Structure 1
Amino acid sequence: MDMKKRIHLELRNRTPSDVKELVLDNCRSNDGKIEGLTDEFEELEFLSTINVGLTTVAHLPKLNKLKKLELSDNRISGGLEVLAAKCPKLTHLNLSGNKIKDLSTIEPLKELATLKSLDLFNCEVTNLNEYRDNVFNLLPQLTYLDGYDKDDKEAPDSDAEVYAEGLDDDEDDEDGEFEASRVLPSVSLKLPLAFGRWATFFSFFF
């Protein structure tokens, strides 16, 4: 499925301005570009485009409220200066599994004053000597790099993960209610039998 169709599917009869979270993972981008996403998604706070074949973020629309951007497992090798212009409130950026080889590629992220968390797992840049120290020096606004702070303390779960867990909990609750609705009637039929031998005796006649 291409990206435009996926966006249409994810809207589910909503208008773009109603959408705060949009997951487009594993769809197909034509020519390695973001397609179908417009600045009408003005309330968007979380965008995930994992493994969609992106080579550039140049066509990212203006998303003033976007806080979390997942771009992992694509083929992006540069052009990150667009992010500061298009997503000025970005706090979390995942570029893991892209073709980022040197520090100069991520240098434009200095302009993202609110950026707190950056992930670069499985990028060649992580093989550089003193990689972590150099990135923290280059991007002093960062709190976490690849899930850990300067003192190697692990970052807490992200809001996106907490949100996902909340959805799972809701589904579990619904499943529990469904299971209860199937079990309770049988329990209620068995309860009278627990009140002694007479209940057992009379059960043969009714």
Structure 2
Amino acid sequence: TDFEKEIKGDMLSSFISEVRELVLDNCKSNDGKIEGLTAEFVNLEFLSLINVGLISVSNLPKLPKLKKLELSDNRICGGLDMLAEKLPNLTHLNLSGNKLKDISTLEPLKKLECLKSLDLFNCEVTNLNDYRESVFKLLPQLTYLDGYDREDREAPDSDAEVDGVDEEEEDEGE
């Protein structure tokens, strides 16, 4: 009956609004859209879209609570301006293995004020002279680029939150 469909729909919406992590790796996108990925995922904090055939981020829904976005191994070559509008609280972004060639394509990431970590492994842009210095200069809010900070110190494990908290002091006397 229509009433049953409505109840099921309400239950599904309620479930979707509770989801905090979503991994859709290797699901093929349709014209840059991932079927079922909508703004109803209001509490989503981690989204993984590795190898889904994305050529653009323009069809991503507005996800205000999203902190970590995995977009490795897609075909994105630019058009990153939509990210700040749709994902204003993003702290970690992985664009490894995409078609990013120029530092200028990263310019829109300046608007992601919370962005702390950016990965661009296997993107052509990493072959440019002064790549690291240029990206850190362009994006002053960044703490880590490709897993290392400005002083070439490795980032702590990705599960540990990066809040500028002093790393644990190592035991010196053994």
What TM-score do the two structures reach when normalised by structure 1? 0.70
**Structure 2 unmatched runs, 5+:** 1-11, 162-174
Q: What corresponds to 2:108 in structure 1? A: 108
Letter in 2 for 1:150: R
Asked whether the 8 Å contact 1:117–1:145 carries over to 2, the reply is: yes
Query: For 2:54 and 2:73, how far apart are their aligned partners in 1?
Result: 9
**1:119-166 Cα deviation digits (max 9, x unpaired):** 0000000000000000000000000000000000000111289xxxxx
Cα drift, residue 34 of structure 1: 3.3
Cα drift, residue 13 of structure 1: 9.6
Asked whether the 8 Å contact 1:64–1:89 carries over to 2, the reply is: yes
Asked whether the 8 Å contact 1:34–1:57 carries over to 2, the reply is: no
Return the structure number with greater relative CO, CA threshold 8 A, min gap 6: 2
Q: What corresponds to 2:32 in structure 1? A: 32
**Structure 1 unmatched runs, 5+:** 1-11, 162-206
Query: For 2:148 and 2:111, how far apart are their aligned partners in 1?
Result: 21
SS at match of 1:93: strand
Asked whether the 8 Å contact 1:35–1:59 carries over to 2, the reply is: no
SS at match of 1:153: coil
Letter in 2 for 1:74: N
Query: For 1:114 and 1:60, how far apart are their aligned partners in 2?
Result: 19
Letter in 1 for 2:97: G
RMSD of aligned residue pairs (Cα, Å)? 1.7
> Which structure would you say has the larger Rg?
1
Letter in 1 for 2:90: L
Cα drift, residue 91 of structure 1: 0.2
Asked whether the 8 Å contact 2:32–2:59 carries over to 1, the reply is: no
SS at match of 2:31: helix
Q: What corresponds to 1:144 in structure 2? A: 144
What TM-score do the two structures reach when normalised by structure 2? 0.82
Q: Give the structure with the larger helix fraction.
A: 1
Q: What corresponds to 2:18 in structure 1? A: 18
